[in-house]
């Protein structure tokens, strides 16, 4: 639906003349003649059907309607100026702001950023964390989210499947030969993912086993506690992949279960036209497949 906006050149002329109190001063600011400012304001008044100025031989005064209009326009022009400066500054910085959860940042993204900076030394990535439930911040260039791939108003690029797999310290894993033995050890849980343990246990035919153990705010915290020997954590890929390769964690049962969700890079439509973002998206998709 087309916008119903007023005469924009007339708005600029009116706001400048009203702020300075004269057509001459307004014209000097806009680099046009006083007569041009007067003509633009007159056209604006005609289109609006109201008088904004009371004109006298040697005076120019705002009408009541003009005074109210000027007050609102001043705030709008200030915000437009702020937005323009911020947009130009952000474009000149060549910095991508990436919103992720803290566990994704520490257990997958940050260990790989050195490779990104080696490929694109002139483009910085600023990582900001807000947790799994954080809304997409309008200041972000893009974000990484766990879900089904549908976020209204966003373009979603798949990165990895989110498979669930119990993990623990090597010493604890040595005593676990069968999934049934999990009933006798602490099962570390994540507050915002209460469904993970029941989902995995049900897939093993252990729906009657209740997950009991410490609760953590984030996957990364539960994973660290498992590495320290506190119990068995429900690991989620890709968080656990590096720890498994390095031997810091062990998966006692080779039985991954799909969470039914995946990890996606999300961004607003049109962002892909930015060469810097396009390069980052290509890199992270490649890194996710490695």
201-208: long-range contacts at Cβ-Cβ below 8 A with a sequence spacing of 24 or more? 203/255, 203/257, 204/179, 204/253, 204/255, 206/179, 206/180, 206/182
- Per-residue pLDDT tens over the stretch 164-211: 999 999 999 999 999 999 998 999 999 989 999 999 999 999 988 888
Task: Determine the Cα–Cα distance for residues 209 and 198; give it in Å rounded to an integer.
Answer: 8
Question: What is the pLDDT confidence band of residue 1, given thresholds at 50, 70 and 90?
Answer: low
Give the pLDDT score at 91: 57
Give the pLDDT score at 214: 94
Which residues, 6+ apart, have CB-to-CB distance to 70 below 8 Å?
Answer: 14, 15, 18, 19, 62
Give the pLDDT score at 245: 92
User: Over 80: is that where the pLDDT of 285 sits?
Assistant: yes
Query: Which tokens hold the place of 119?
Result: 């490929």
Task: Determine the Cα–Cα distance for residues 43 and 35; give it in Å rounded to an integer.
Answer: 12
Give the pLDDT score at 90: 56
- Higher model confidence: residue 248 or residue 135? 248
Question: What is the pLDDT confidence band of residue 134, given thresholds at 50, 70 and 90?
Answer: low
User: Over 90: is that where the pLDDT of 141 sits?
Assistant: no
Q: Where are the domains of the chain?
A: 8-92, 94-290
Give the pLDDT score at 185: 93
User: Over 80: is that where the pLDDT of 82 sits?
Assistant: no
Query: Which tokens hold the place of 129?
Result: 């964390």
DSSP state of 275: H
State what percent of residues in the chain have pLDDT above 70.
94
User: Over 90: is that where the pLDDT of 56 sits?
Assistant: no
User: Over 80: is that where the pLDDT of 26 sits?
Assistant: yes
- The radius of gyration computed from the CA coordinates of the chain, to the nearest angstrom, equals 30
- Per-residue pLDDT tens over the stretch 216-260: 998 989 999 999 999 999 999 988 989 999 999 999 998 899 999
E strand residue ranges, the chain? 53-55, 60-62, 95-100, 124-129, 142-147, 155-167, 187-190, 215-216, 232-236, 257-267
Task: Determine the Cα–Cα distance for residues 18 and 26; give it in Å rounded to an integer.
Answer: 8
What mean pLDDT value characterizes the chain? 88
Question: What are the φ/ψ torsions at residue 35 (nearest 5 degrees)?
Answer: -65, -35
For the domain made up of 94-290, the CATH class stated in words is alpha beta
Please name the fold of domain 8-92. Answer: Arc Repressor Mutant, subunit A (1.10.10)
Question: What are the φ/ψ torsions at residue 258 (nearest 5 degrees)?
Answer: -60, 135
- Per-residue pLDDT tens over the stretch 96-131: 889 988 888 888 999 999 999 898 888 888 888 765
Q: 166: which strand partners?
A: 234
Which residues, 6+ apart, have CB-to-CB distance to 206 below 8 Å?
Answer: 179, 180, 182, 183
Question: What is the pLDDT confidence band of residue 132, given thresholds at 50, 70 and 90?
Answer: low
């Amino acid at each position: 639906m087309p916008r119903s906006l007023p005469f924009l050149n007339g708005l600029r002329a009116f706001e400048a003349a009203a702020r300075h109190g004269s057509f001459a001063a307004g014209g000097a600011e806009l680099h046009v003649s006083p007569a041009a400012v007067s003509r633009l304001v007159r056209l604006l008044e005609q289109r609006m059907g109201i008088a904004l100025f009371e004109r006298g031989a040697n005076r120019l005064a705002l009408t009541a309607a003009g005074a109210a209009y000027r007050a609102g326009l001043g705030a709008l022009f200030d915000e437009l100026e702020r937005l323009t400066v911020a947009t130009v500054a952000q474009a000149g910085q060549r910095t991508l702001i990436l919103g992720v959860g803290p566990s994704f940042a520490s257990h997958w993204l940050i260990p790989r950023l050195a490779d990104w900076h080696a490929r694109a030394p002139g483009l910085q990535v600023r990582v900001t964390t807000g947790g799994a439930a954080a809304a997409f911040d309008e200041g972000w260039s893009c974000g990484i989210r766990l879900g089904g791939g549908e976020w209204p108003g966003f373009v979603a690029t798949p990165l990895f499947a989110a498979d669930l797999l119990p993990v623990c310290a090597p010493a604890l894993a040595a005593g676990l030969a069968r999934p049934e033995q999990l009933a006798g050890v602490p099962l570390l849980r994540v507050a915002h993912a209460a469904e993970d343990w029941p989902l995995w246990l049900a897939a093993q035919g252990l729906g009657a086993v209740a997950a009991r153990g410490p609760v953590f705010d984030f996957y990364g915290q539960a994973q660290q506690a498992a590495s320290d020997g506190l119990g068995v954590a429900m690991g989620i890929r890709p968080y656990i992949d590096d720890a498994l390769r390095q031997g810091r964690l062990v998966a006692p049962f080779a039985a991954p279960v799909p969470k039914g969700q995946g990890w996606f890079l999300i961004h607003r439509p049109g962002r892909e036209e930015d060469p810097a973002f396009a390069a980052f998206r290509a890199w992270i998709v490649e890194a996710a497949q490695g």
